[in-house]
Amino acid sequence: MRQVAWVDRGQSVSFEKQPEDGLRPNCVGVARLGSLQTSGTVFTVWMQLRGSAWVESREGRFRLRQREWIAFEKDSRPLIQASRDGLCIGVALDADALRTLGDLADSGLYAGHGLMGRAEARTALHLWREAQARAPGSHVLRPLLLHVASLQRDYSEGVQRCPGRSRLRKRQVFGRMQRARMYLEGNSHRVVRIGELAELTNFSSWYLSKTFQSLYEESPQSLSARLRLERAAMLLRDTDMMISEVAAASGFDNCCSFARAFRARFGVPASRYREAAATRLPPHSAKSATASCKPMASVRT
């Protein structure tokens, strides 16, 4: 494979189109309003180093902020669109590269989404540059592959908690559960049906719900509701949308149900939450002004 593809300054590139030499790059980068559509034959990992980027995939739509990473299965075909000042680097891994990683680290890669430390982000950029500057070959990717695998080091515990008699089966189950979780994250603007997750993972609805609850200690329905409310909180903080518009954009049928759910989750009404955010006060300060004794729930990301 070729080592690098760089998309910058509004350029648009699609991996769906087979290049003339039949080779696709391992190292990819998107910057400054550039966009890149990956193919359905590679597992991709993306790391946001500066600014932000929008990602659209089979699992939904995501916004990557600085030092966040996201990984997609082969058939996800993510489309990466960088912001005006965005810089996002990625690794496209075919079956050979994934086998190389398995031999090196005795582990696999899974769909997922997380945050890098500053040192991890600097290391990722350094190894990415080293890989793309050297002659093609799977051996030059080894340090970068190991670093990418280290971003998912916390997943090993989840793999062990999955049902299955063999390690391979546990990995397969965990990979499908991660994909279901990603689907919920990518569709936080609406209510997701269990049937959709069952179809995505090729599990029965009963098995999916039971395994998801056991693995994440939260049901798919509960996670979906929490993500929708966290999306609403973000919109209240970062936009000037009307509260009714925020409710609709977060998958609520009416303002009354949204108001009840939001207050139950955050301990304050949506309007009070927005006021606190506008004055840069923590939400519990606004809650104190209402003389409410209900504890404030933290916002998980």
Which pLDDT tens digit goes with each residue over 211-232? 999 999 999 999 999 999 999 9
Q: What is the pLDDT averaged over residues 181-210?
A: 97
According to the model, what pLDDT value does residue 19 have? Answer: 58
Query: Which has the higher per-residue pLDDT, 198 or 298?
Result: 198
Q: Distance between CA atoms of 235 and 239, rounded to whole angstroms?
A: 5
Helical spans, DSSP H, in 115-252 = 118-133, 142-151, 155-161, 167-186, 194-201, 205-216, 220-238, 243-249
According to the model, what pLDDT value does residue 139 have? Answer: 72
Q: What is the pLDDT averaged over residues 124-146?
A: 83
According to the model, what pLDDT value does residue 296 have? Answer: 34
Residue 284 reports pLDDT greater than 70: no
HSE at residue 91, side-chain half, CA atoms within 13 A, is 31
Q: What is the pLDDT averaged over residues 147-171?
A: 94
Q: What is the pLDDT averaged over residues 46-71?
A: 98
According to the model, what pLDDT value does residue 295 have? Answer: 35
**CA distances to 51, 123, 139, 229, 269 from 47, in Å:** 11, 11, 21, 26, 35
Q: Distance between CA atoms of 99 and 106, rounded to whole angstroms?
A: 9
Provide the 10 A C-beta neighbour count for residue 80. Answer: 28
Choose among 118, 204, 211: nearest CA to 159: 211
Residue 1 reports pLDDT greater than 90: no
Residue 165 reports pLDDT greater than 90: yes
